[in-house]
Structure 1
Amino acid sequence: MPRKKKPVIEYRHYSLPISFPVLLLSGERWRISDIKSEHLHFHNHLEIGICHSDSGIMEIKGETIPFKAGDVTFLPRYLPHTTYSSPNTASLWSYLFFSPEDLFQHSFKSAYSSFEPNLWRMQGKNCILNKEQYPKVYSLATSVVEELKQQKPYYQESAYGLLLSLYIELIRIHSTNEMLAEQEAEHSLKSDFVISPALEYITTNYMTPITIDFLADLCHLSTTHFRRKFHEIMGSAPLDFLNSTRIEEACKQLKSSDYSILSISEQVGFHSISSFNRGFSKLMGASPKEWRKGAKSEAQSAKASILEFTGWV
């Protein structure tokens, strides 16, 4: 009997603007094909999507869930999924990407240790919220999109307030459903996206010393199996992904601060300036000094071209 083919999972990296770290993708470019992709994909930021037209299917955590115009989707980072429209249609979407811990770090009380839901407890059906049942979510999400599109005076302040209200509403909805899925958490940890704990840890602790053995333990895998699984999913070794995360954070500081290159390299977790310079030049094609001098556009950031706008139509 032939072995079941394993799903291919793509990592889609989105670089956020530094001045206001929210990325809006909207317009005719963001129509979803009716052809089902053979690949699942996941993002490095929280994704909120708004379906403006037509209908289709989302596949999340092994669940097949229908969507229609007016639905709002809420997908934590590192949650593999795919979307395709109903036959002979191409549903139109707007997408918001942001990292709650960066955007809202001064708005929440210090008691909040985690800004995103535990995706192991999050059932796929709770990722799609329909307009009829959750009119407040739809109204807030569409209002954020309009503010970012129109860019009237004080639009960032308005978008921030709306997005904070939207995020709180989503967390409230998630919290009411969390207990229902708690018994499934252990099973999901074993069967779903097994390297997610390592990705989450790198995202929030990239500036600290991190070993492969430690990351493997987080995922309940042997070091050898972890290396193989990580490379299979991410297309790179764990330490390469860690270093690219550090370098992207360094890019933000090089562009937005006057800290010395040595100071920045230490802040993002490199223990020698030589290893930082070498890794930076390899990834960015220029030395940190050269890159800082030429960093003029908001769009420029580490790995900005990696699967950034692929696989949609």
Structure 2
Amino acid sequence: MNYPEEKNTYIDGIPCQYLCHVEVTKKAGTVFPAHYHYYIELLYALSGSFLVYLNGTYHEFSAGDMVLINSREVHQIDATAADGGSYICVRFLPDLIYNGMSQSHFELKYLLPFVTEQPDYEKVIHAASLSDSLIPELMNEIIRESEQQNYGYELAIKNDIGRIFLWLLRYWQKSETEPLLVNQTDLNLQKQLAPALTYMLSNYEKPILATEMADLCHLSYSYFSRSFHRLMHMKFNDYLNSIRIREAEKLLISTSGSVTEIAASVGFCTTSYFIKLFKEQMYVSPKQYQKLLAQ
């Protein structure tokens, strides 16, 4: 069955890294029909009882429980109590935790349980497990920061999401679920590709060929290409260009260099190709991006 994709939300052409609100329903029934999106989603029930459908399985959750919905995971939410209920909904892009460009690629292992299909760990964490944790406070704090919008609230919300993310990882590890070890193949690939990933992060402004990176990793070109796509969920050149685009973003808002100068400094051979890729990824031109962030 094909399910509708809910597209990312944009403000002034820039993707929102996170979205949060309190969902309130007054009666039993479907709150959101089956769909999926790129965002990782967290639900924290404040009142009532609900069913969440996650890729073919229904899970119950009620006041005090938290639900994790992976990136691109098909889900539907239904209220089961006659008088409805409410829950906090926090959605955030995987890039908020790990963008692959400004952080060590070794941190990718922490993101894998949130973006891949791994059925062996808890998706609904019940109130009893959360009662002595900071999760209830952090979820409510995210909503308060979003509503009050005091100076630096964006940083506060990102920090709170990061703390929840870390709590989940440690909770799974302590409960011996160990989601990070579920996909041993991907962890092995990460070690094999580490020399190439490290080199790309440090030398993105230089001409870099996939064949050269395969040699650096002592792998055949075909095996390297297949493995790279499996691990990074994109082709080699797409990943390299993503690094360059992210570095160009920083230069566009922190220097007075022209678009042509910035394109060349991050490794693009032509300005036109840089502008084309930038618009594909950011939905605005480099010049428009500069103007939006200068406002």
The aligned counterpart of 1:173 is 171
Please say if 1:37 is aligned against 2:33.
yes
Q: Which of 123, 129, 150 is residue 127 of structure 1 equivalent to?
A: 123
Q: Is the 8 A contact 1:24 1:95 kept in 2?
A: yes
Q: How does 1:129-144 map to 2 (within 5 A)?
A: 129-135=125-131, 136=133, 137-144=135-142
Please say if 1:65 is aligned against 2:59.
yes
Task: Give the number of equivalent residue pairs.
Answer: 254
Q: Deviation of residue 175 (structure 1)? A: 1.8
Please say if 1:278 is aligned against 2:276.
yes
Q: Is the 8 A contact 1:57 1:86 kept in 2?
A: yes
Name the one with the larger helix percent.
2
- TM-score, normalization by structure 1: 0.56
Q: Deviation of residue 173 (structure 1)? A: 0.8
Which ranges of structure 1 fall in alignment gaps of 5 or more residues? 190-201, 221-229, 231-236, 298-313
- TM-score, normalization by structure 2: 0.59
Aligned Cα RMSD in Å?
5.1
Deviates more, 1:152-161 or 1:58-67: 152-161
Deviates more, 1:269-278 or 1:129-138: 269-278
Which ranges of structure 2 fall in alignment gaps of 5 or more residues? 187-196, 211-220
The aligned counterpart of 1:253 is 250
Q: Kindly tell me: are residues 66 and 166 of structure 1, through their superposed partners in 2, closer, same or farther at Cα, counting changes over 3 Å?
A: same
CA distance, structure 1, for counterparts of residue 244 and residue 44 of structure 2: 32
The aligned counterpart of 1:301 is none
Counterpart AA for 1:253: K
Q: Which of 64, 80, 84 is residue 77 of structure 2 equivalent to?
A: 84
Q: Deviation of residue 172 (structure 1)? A: 0.6
Structure with the larger RCO, 1 or 2 (CA within 8 Å, 6+ apart): 1
The aligned counterpart of 2:45 is 51
- Pick the structure with greater CA Rg: 2
CA distance, structure 2, for counterparts of residue 264 and residue 124 of structure 1: 45
Q: Is the 8 A contact 2:34 2:76 kept in 1?
A: no
Q: Deviation of residue 165 (structure 1)? A: 3.4
